Amino acid sequence: MHKRVKLNLPYYTPGEIVVHNKPNDIWVSIHGLVYNLTPLIKLHWGQQVIKPLLAYAGKDISHLFDPETLEFNYRYHIISSLYFPFMPHGPLPGIKEEVPSTKWTPPDDEQWWHPNSQYVIGYVTERARKIRMLNVLTGTENTLTVCKEDKLSRILERQLLFNSHIRSYTWKFETRVLDMNKTLEENKIPDYRDEFKKYGQLEDEYIPAIMLYYNDDLTEL
């Protein structure tokens, strides 16, 4: 059994994972972990074993792995009376032969699926949510899809795509200055989606807004 060690890694939404779906840029998720398998694909380029991974680029492949042991799911082969890794789409890196086969050997030491392997880059969010970012100085606004677990400092990184000077702003919600080391929930910014759903309203009926106030401290020229 592989022991999960909580690493200080970012969270990603399913939408962020799915766009990495090309042979030269491939992410997958396994039981809540996000893997960047691009180097693994390059290592085995031209080999049959990468084809199943290419087919699942940007997707979740948890069905291949046991959620408790984080090892391959095994299936019993009635003819040989042996257990083999469950690989319905063909052999994968680390598994020598397609099974069942008399040439099959147990997984080698590569174990790219290990929860603490070099390919793990983050976690899949428990839940994504939207937040509006309203620039009080310019009157412009954009909406971000963020992770429930994101601290505001991480949301700031996401906002850099829309405002390269965002570090020179004070963030407020309903006149309250927000703590950048806390999440939206910890900053008491509500998520009303469950209530809206309960009463048959659209989830995006109301999206809370963070007000961005420019500090005018001349740190950005």
Q: Which domains does the chain possess? A: 11-124 (3.10.120), 128-214 (3.10.20.90)
**CA–CA distance, 26 with 19 (Å, rounded to integer):** 9
pLDDT of residue 177: 97
- Which is more confident, 216 or 91? 91
**CA–CA distance, 80 with 75 (Å, rounded to integer):** 12
pLDDT of residue 80: 66
How confident is residue 200, by pLDDT bands cut at 50, 70 and 90? confident
- Which is more confident, 221 or 168? 168
pLDDT tens per residue across span 39-90: 999 999 999 889 999 999 999 999 999 898 888 887 777 766 667 777 778 7
| % of residues, the chain, pLDDT over 70 | 85
Q: Cα angle at 149 between 143 and 151, to 5 degrees?
A: 70
pLDDT of residue 108: 57
Question: Is there a cis peptide before residue 14, judged by omega within 30 degrees of 0?
Answer: no
pLDDT of residue 131: 97
SS3 128: strand
119: left (phi over 0), alpha (psi -120 to 50) or beta: alpha
| Displacement of CA 111 from its chain's centroid (Å) | 20
Q: Picking from 24-28, 39-43, 96-100, 190-194, which range would have the lowest pLDDT averaged per residue?
A: 96-100
pLDDT tens per residue across span 110-148: 689 988 899 999 999 999 999 999 999 999 999 999 999
User: Is residue 11 pLDDT above 70, yes or no?
Assistant: yes
pLDDT of residue 221: 45
pLDDT of residue 100: 58
* 56 in Cβ contact with 26 (< 8 Å): no
Averaged pLDDT score across all residues of the chain: 87
Q: Which residues of 89-122 are buried (b: 16+ CB within 10 A; e: fewer)?
A: eebbbbbeeebeeeebeebeeebbbbbeeebbeb
* 219 in Cβ contact with 166 (< 8 Å): no
- Which is more confident, 202 or 165? 165
